[in-house]
A = this chain, B = another copy of it.
Amino acid sequence: MSRTPGRPRAFDRDAALEKALREFWRHGYEATSIAGLTAAMGIRPPSLYAAFGDKRGLFSEAVERYQRTHGAFTTRALAEEPTGRQAIERVLREAAVNYADPGHPPGCLIITAVVNHGPEAEDIEAELRVHRVAAKRAFAERIEGDVQAGRIPADTDVEGLATFYAATVQGMSRQSQDGATADELDRVATFAMRAYPA
């Protein structure tokens, strides 16, 4: 076993990626500058480009890391709960706590990081949209499961209900950016669950 030749990297790549992730999370993709990134990461531009390629590549890695860490609660809740209703309620309750956590920027990176952008960032918007439509699709599949199991009426508007909860989560994200607390978001979740079919 031998280490790679050449001068070793002087910074922690994962720690630097987490710093970059939070910059993108707080300011969004385009409004985050290389200068802001390097300042937050504690490195100089050549180190950033050597380790992550370019700004676009760094952002994609940040998204990947977000999905694996801060945003993983959604996938877990949808996979672990026994019913669609319980799965969606858990997503909403955990989103309430997570989005308003003062330990990191408010809201959800996937929802908020690429809202305002110029013409050259449309592929990045599309990259995040893939995750959003996948989440909505997962909602629909769990709701459909409740229909198939006879837990909710057979004539339930599954797609409409999934869109409603996708919109609820996105609205909670925006509310947290306007200063809503975890308690306020939890009460939003409570009202949203009243829409779930009996």
Contact = CB atoms under 8 A, between A and B. Distances in A.
Interface of A: 27-31, 33, 36, 111-118, 129, 132-133, 157, 159-161, 163-164, 166-172, 174-175, 177-178, 180, 184-185, 187-188, 190-192, 194-195
Contacts of A185: 163
A31 B178 CA distance: 21
A195 B188 CA distance: 10
A31 B191 contact: no
18 contacts: A30-B30, A30-B31, A36-B118, A112-B116, A113-B116, A116-B116, A116-B117, A133-B178, A157-B190, A159-B187, A160-B187, A160-B188, A160-B190, A163-B175, A163-B180, A170-B174, A171-B174, A192-B195
Main secondary structure of the interface of A (DSSP, over half): helix
A187 B163 contact: yes
Minimum-distance CB pairs A-B, first 8: A28-B116, A167-B171, A171-B171, A160-B187, A115-B115, A164-B191, A170-B174, A194-B195
Given A163-B175, A163-B180, A188-B160, A27 B116 contact: yes
Given A27-B118, A159-B184, 16 more contacts: A27-B116, A28-B116, A29-B116, A30-B30, A30-B116, A36-B118, A114-B116, A115-B116, A116-B116, A133-B178, A157-B187, A157-B191, A160-B190, A163-B180, A164-B192, A167-B175
